[in-house]
Amino acid sequence: MFRKIFNLKTILITFSLLVVIGVIIWQGIHFHGNPDPTAKNITPGAAIINTAILVFREGLEAILVLAAIISGLVRKKEDTVWKPISIGAGVSFLATIATWFIVVAIISAVNASELNIQAFTGILAVVVL
């Protein structure tokens, strides 16, 4: 029993959770709550980290969806659907790259401010979800 509770995986997950909790507490103390995302003094490094966190969260979401699909297939022992799922994952990755280029072209062609574009895409994301 002791060996199951204190294995490497459990220790790493616990450590990761403690780090996340520590960062949240630090953020609350240092910024007196959530930092203001409209602050003018954001550094390029902070902008890169914000973007990286967003991309990381979206990647985790995609992994969770694929894990849910695959776990159902493993439980039912379906061998014929692995190839279509792999092809679908590959096509979705390529579609993501193509969509990125398309969106960058559209944003650079539009004369709207960055905040207006962010507001529109945020509202669109809420509607889609």
Residues of the chain falling short of pLDDT 50: none
The tokens describing 65, both together, are: 């969806």
In the numeric block, the tokens 């809420």 are attached to: 126
Q: What percent of the chain has pLDDT over 70?
A: 92
Same domain, 113 and 95: yes
In a domain, 68, yes or no: yes
Are 117 and 107 within 8 A, CB to CB?
yes
What range defines the domain where residue 88 resides? 80-129
In a domain, 1, yes or no: no
* CA max distance for the chain: 63
Same domain, 74 and 84: no
| Residue 10: predicted pLDDT | 86
Same domain, 85 and 128: yes
| Residue 39: predicted pLDDT | 67
Same domain, 84 and 127: yes
Count of CB atoms within 10 A of residue 50's CB?
13
Q: What is the pTM of this model?
A: 0.45
Same domain, 53 and 69: yes
